[in-house]
Chains A and B, each alone.
Chain A
Amino acid sequence: MNMFKPSVIVLALSTALLGCQQDTGPQKDKVTIEKNPYPSTYQPHSTTSTLITNATVLTGTGERINDADVYIVDGKISQVGKDLSVNADTTIDAAGKWVTPGIIDNHSHLGAYPNPGVESHQDGNEMIHPNTAQVWVEHSVWPQDPGFNRAREGGITSLQILPGSANLFGGRAVTLKNVPSETMQGMKFPEAPYGLKMACGENPKRVYGGQGVAPKTRMGNMAGYREAWIEATEYKRAWEQYDAEYAAGLNPDAPHRDIKLDTLRGVLDGEILIHNHCYKAEEMAMMIDLSKEFSYHAGTFHHGIEAYKIADLLGENGNCAALWPDWWGFKMEAYDMSLENVAIVDAAKNSCAVIHSDSDTTIQRLNHEAAKVMYSANEVGFDIKEEHAIKWITYNAAKSLGIEDLTGSIATGKQADVVIWDQSPFSVYSKAEKVFIDGAKVYDRHDSKYQAVSDFMLGQR
């Protein structure tokens, strides 16, 4: 048998192809990547007008207006101010009550780690490889998680669902409108950008190092991120080259499609926002440098127990920090808790302090979480008012999710995501009375017609 040397032939052929680039033939169809293959089907359904009168209004942008009215038309905030003279289909007397923007939690696992927390519901952490940027948590969301209803009863109108923190790259996050729906798409916030979950510190190195697989150390974590970004940079370049050659009338072969690298490339292109589980000051500082090394923005740091140690750096670099008021001590990287963490981060120039839950329980009372921080900080010399503190769970959370132009504040033209509270939401006794999403009433504490029940809970009581 003759031994062919196929590699030589292939090389010769491909040189010939490159030489002529098929520039004489018709172009093949352009290969494009569908960036929104699971599109939102959520439709705001309010076409009526609502006037809320005489409330203490916290706008979410730092303002407090006493005895104010909020006028909602066609799902949008139309006017805010005192003594509005408008006609509305529905008028709600909110004297003695408080009105805030809908509460936003940028760190939830509802639907992915739902209740009941049975074995078959553990869909939040693809713990098979330190880089699972290819998974999208929206594919794990069970819309019947009763936790969505409980959260709505606490005023949550939008929330980001994140994959877990076992991996350096945990996968894509999704932002939802907190409306009852049979499908994830029916909740999906139509205009919200995707997020990418990254994780620093103990979790990835414990999960993989324990299996004798990298990363085993914090330096291994950093190497893992850098290798992934190098690969993503090359992938981005390959697609850009393909696009450019095609645009030049050539007939190039499209690069091999890789959904893991699609997500990382989305970050490099500025289309996907980083949400980085990261506790420690020195690690957050390195993640900022990492983002500069590969030309993307480091996004929002989540948990950030030590964010107060680098508050100025976070402000200078435009990072949001999504924090708990007081969780601590469950692991070493959560040991240096300060009850004033949020307040110290918030006080820095250009800051973006957010209070998040990461909990199916505290998501129901983010207003209480903000209250804890405000009062605790004021005890040690801060001077934080309710109209400012509400930003941590409304406007700043929206900013972290890239939706601050759409929701997160009570201002003309914004989506009418609004909560009416029975009293100051900074009291332990406060409760959300009515919740609106895009102008539609989605919850009413005093009217069972507006109290959604999950399929799972039907007939169980």
Chain B
Amino acid sequence: MNKFKLSILTGALLSSSAVFAQVTAITNATVHTQTQQGVLENATVLIENGKITALNPKSFNADVTVDAQGKVLTPGLIGTMNHLGLVEVGAVSRSVDAYDKSGLEFDPSTAFNPRSSLIPYARKGGVTQNLSIPSLPWGESGVFMGLGFVADLSGEFGSVTDRKTALIVDLGAASGDGSRAAAVQAFAKKLSEQKKKLTAKKDKKADKDPSSEEKLLIDVLNGKLPVVASASRASQLLELIKLKEEFGLNLVIYGADDAVLVKEELAKAKVPVIVSAVSNLPTGFDALHAHLGNAGTLEKAGVKVILNVAGDGSHNVYQMRFNAGIAVANGMSHDGALKAMTVNVADTFGIEGGKIAKGERADVVLWTADPFEFNTRVDTIWINGEQVTTESRHDKLTDRYTKDSSMPRGYTK
């Protein structure tokens, strides 16, 4: 499978908005690079053509200079494992495109709606990119959800930046009468059958091209297509590590409430985990070790941690930075929590962004202060090099109902 890198195309589309070729300089920023450079004080970041073109250049000419006055500049945050762009109102079925029964090959990316009202709202939380995923319809259960994809949150048409980013599978507790064992077996069977076909092909000339599903499975087997598996029980996670080793999977675990029991194994097997920082209730018998300290515990054990917003993470992804603060209050490092929403996501899924470095996507956020605090807000946000607003229809509603007017509110716009 080809990984479609669409950022160049996106750039081309965006270039119609005249200002594209300009050079923006952000000066005097406290830059959290999320690279080996760490945090740079009084730093300058140059942006041109949607890319970061220089960090602390000796000299520069800029069309626009933004004096950050020491404020914090971070890479844009990257949301994961929600239906952003695939849902407007959860209970309005015709506004939802995330659910389908077609399984392994289901790619919902063409239904991504950049004009969804959730997108500017998410930007209030400094979120600039998002991994959206499909799910099975309500009440259905099964192993294969389909394929996740990445979009930037510019709100522009053509903002899907990476399709077929990851295969999403549910290998946790079955919601119906099924068994965890059956779920793993079903997945393993697909993989071993495909592996056999590949071995057979080596022996004799293939007489036909692989099907689209076979192409996906081939990419799973060669590690090009990450597999995000929902699972929480510790013994199940060990089974998944075995699968990773047997089939060479690029495995990511989602949920992972009891992952702390096998943290060394996860670290050794280099399996990233996606966790909610606020998941601390024994929601089931797979989550008896859910705890506010888990993100920090996993970080300390050397596990690559990604923080996400559980529950309705589509409408609430803006809260991700607050959840990071809660993780920090309970033992995670501040830098680790920021990485868990930026570079760790980008590295895990092989997508651009998540770092402030020369050549990276110019998705950066200037914060008024500590990005995790309630009294901090986004000062300025750039996506693909363009400054974008954080205003959403929610602000329009607030304006309408707080402004004095001699006319009925329906006339306040």
A contacts, CB < 8 Å to B: 115-118, 146-147, 150, 202, 308-309, 311, 326-332, 334-340, 344, 360-361, 364-365, 368, 371-372, 374-375, 379-381, 426-431, 456-457, 460-461
Contact = CB atoms under 8 A, between A and B. Distances in A.
B41 interface: no
Contact of B402 (A118, A337, A380, A460): A380
A331 B374 contact: no
A259 to B, nearest CB: 33
Contacts of B328: 429
A381 B118 CA distance: 24
Contacts of A202: 91
Given A147-B281, A329-B312, A368-B374, A460 B398 contact: no
B285 interface: yes
A427 B289 contact: no
Interface stretch (B13-21, B62-70, B191-199, B315-323): B315-323
B282 A116 contact: yes
Contacts, number: 118
B285 A329 contact: no
A426 B374 contact: yes
A340 to B, nearest CB: 5
A428 B288 contact: no
Given A308-B401, A339-B398, A365-B326, A428 B372 contact: yes
A337 B90 CA distance: 14
A430 B329 contact: yes
Interface in B270-323: 278-285, 287-289, 311-312, 314-316, 318-319, 322
B283 A428 contact: no
B316 A326 contact: yes
Contacts of B289: 461
A427 B374 contact: yes
B284 to A, nearest CB: 5
A308 B401 CA distance: 7
Give me the 4 closest cross-chain CB pairs, A-B, nearest first.
A428-B325, A331-B91, A329-B315, A330-B90
A429 B329 contact: yes
A371 B287 CA distance: 29
A330 B89 contact: yes
The residue among A309, A365, A428, A460 with the most chain B CB atoms within 10 A of its own CB is A428
B325 A115 contact: no
A115 B281 CA distance: 7
The residue among A330, A344, A371, A456 with the most chain B CB atoms within 10 A of its own CB is A330
A372 B374 contact: yes
A437 B283 CA distance: 27
Nearest to A117: B283
A141 B325 CA distance: 33
Contacts of A457: 282, 288
Contacts of A115: 281-283
Given A375-B375, A431-B329, A326 B319 contact: yes
Contact of B374 (A308, A335, A375, A381): A375
A117 B281 CA distance: 10
Contacts of A368: 322, 326, 374
A428 B88 contact: no
Given A329-B89, A332-B91, A371 B374 contact: yes
The residue among A147, A340, A374 with the most chain B CB atoms within 10 A of its own CB is A340
B146 to A, nearest CB: 22
Interface of B: 87-92, 118, 278-285, 287-289, 311-312, 314-316, 318-319, 322, 325-326, 328-329, 372-375, 377, 394-395, 397-398, 401-402, 409
Majority secondary structure of chain B interface residues (helix, strand, loop or mixed)? loop
B373 A428 contact: yes
B373 A427 contact: yes
Contacts of B377: 375, 379
B315 A344 contact: no
A180 B289 CA distance: 21
Contacts of A364: 278, 280
Given A371-B374, A429-B328, 19 more contacts: A115-B283, A116-B285, A326-B318, A327-B316, A329-B87, A329-B88, A329-B89, A330-B89, A330-B91, A331-B90, A339-B394, A339-B398, A344-B398, A365-B326, A368-B326, A380-B398, A429-B325, A431-B329, A457-B288
B134 to A, nearest CB: 18
A267 B206 CA distance: 78
A338 B401 contact: yes
A461 B261 CA distance: 10
A330 B316 CA distance: 10
A118 B329 CA distance: 30
Given A331-B89, A331-B92, A344 B401 contact: yes
A339 B314 CA distance: 17
Nearest to A362: B278
20 contacts: A115-B283, A117-B284, A146-B281, A311-B401, A326-B318, A326-B319, A329-B88, A329-B89, A329-B312, A331-B92, A332-B89, A338-B398, A339-B398, A360-B281, A372-B322, A379-B377, A380-B398, A428-B325, A428-B373, A461-B288
A150 B89 contact: no
A457 B333 CA distance: 28
Given A329-B312, A329-B315, A431-B329, A116 B91 contact: no
Contacts of B287: 116
A338 B394 contact: yes
Given A330-B91, A380-B398, A380-B402, A150 B315 contact: no
Nearest to A359: B311
Contacts of A374: 374
Contact of A150 (B90, B280, B318): B280
Contacts of B397: 308, 336-338
B221 to A, nearest CB: 36
Contacts of B316: 326-327
The residue among B287, B326, B398, B409 with the most chain A CB atoms within 10 A of its own CB is B398
Contacts of B409: 309
Contacts of B401: 308-309, 311, 338, 344
A329 B374 contact: no
The residue among B91, B373, B395 with the most chain A CB atoms within 10 A of its own CB is B91
Nearest to B319: A326
The residue among A115, A332, A338, A430 with the most chain B CB atoms within 10 A of its own CB is A338
Nearest to B286: A116
Nearest to A311: B401
Contacts of A334: 89
Given A327-B316, A329-B312, A338-B394, A361 B278 contact: yes
B326 A340 contact: no
B329 to A, nearest CB: 4
B327 to A, nearest CB: 10
Nearest to A202: B91
A265 to B, nearest CB: 35
B284 A118 contact: yes
B155 to A, nearest CB: 17
Contacts of A118: 284
A118 B284 CA distance: 7
B400 to A, nearest CB: 9
The residue among B279, B288, B315, B375 with the most chain A CB atoms within 10 A of its own CB is B375
B288 A460 contact: yes
